A and B are shown apart, each in its own frame.
Chain A
Amino acid sequence: GAVVSQHPSWVICKSGTSVKIECRSLDFQATTMFWYRQFPKQSLMLMATSNEGSKATYEQGVEKDKFLINHASLTLSTLTVTSAHPEDSSFYICSGLADTDTQYFGPGTRLTVL
């Protein structure tokens, strides 16, 4: 079955540094990938939709210069949190949309900014 992986699964960084999170679809091609951030009470907020080869579409309130998304290939999308601050500490989850219109979620990346 289709699997989406994320790397790293857990990252701790200092305030002001940048962190890159990778999202890979392992046995399917994902033209579209989504990035979510988990909020209290466990709901996931859609941050952006990324389409391979084009600029990501960001949801209202999400700073595109802070959360850089690159979808360079059909199997890889990256989220870079630039100049991270403690308030960026969260759980980030990606998902890939297969051509069957099925959405496969990654296991998530826990970011802790000190």
Chain B
Amino acid sequence: DQQVKQNSPSLSVQEGRISILNCDYTNSMFDYFLWYKKYPAEGPTFLISISSIKDKNEDGRFTVFLNKSAKHLSLHIVPSQPGDSAVYFCAAQTNTGNQFYFGTGTSLTVIP
């Protein structure tokens, strides 16, 4: 069964607005979470990560929020740009760091 879920397969946002991508997980042993961005025919590119000891991590226009009690994380992109249009995957690891668990991705379209 999918231990990491992205329930929105797609999202459209106007340029300049905020994009919010959501991810839910079921395994309470996960303690490290990552977001990847993927363009067609390429491998996923690492974007930002967060450890379970934090509830927020910010890097430029990208901020990841972690709500451990809800087993939920989200990626905020603000302001959104057309170049942000891609598929975004969230992933989780346990503290052994030996395996990744990916969500199924959310396709973001930023409309100019």
B-side contacts of A44, CB under 8 Å: 36, 43-45
Q: Give the residues from 74 to 114 in chain A that come closer than 8 angstroms, CB to CB, to chain B.
A: 91, 93, 95, 102-105, 107-108, 110
Instruction: Determine the distance from Cα of A9 to Cα of B41 in the docked complex, in whole angstroms.
Output: 25
The range of chain A's interface size is 20 to 34
Contact A102 B41 (CB under 8 A): no
The range of chain B's interface size is 20 to 34
How many contacts between A and B, using CB within 8 angstroms? 51
Q: Give the residues from 1 to 30 in chain A that come closer than 8 angstroms, CB to CB, to chain B.
A: 1-3, 9-10
Chain B 45-62 interface 0/1 with A at a Cβ cutoff of 8 Å (1 = within): 110010000000000000
* New contact pairs (14) apart from A42-B34, A42-B46, A102-B104, CB-CB < 8 Å: A1-B2, A2-B104, A3-B2, A44-B36, A44-B43, A44-B44, A45-B43, A102-B105, A103-B105, A104-B104, A105-B89, A105-B102, A108-B98, A108-B99
Contact residues of A with B, CB < 8 Å?
Answer: 1-3, 9-10, 36, 41-46, 91, 93, 95, 102-105, 107-108, 110
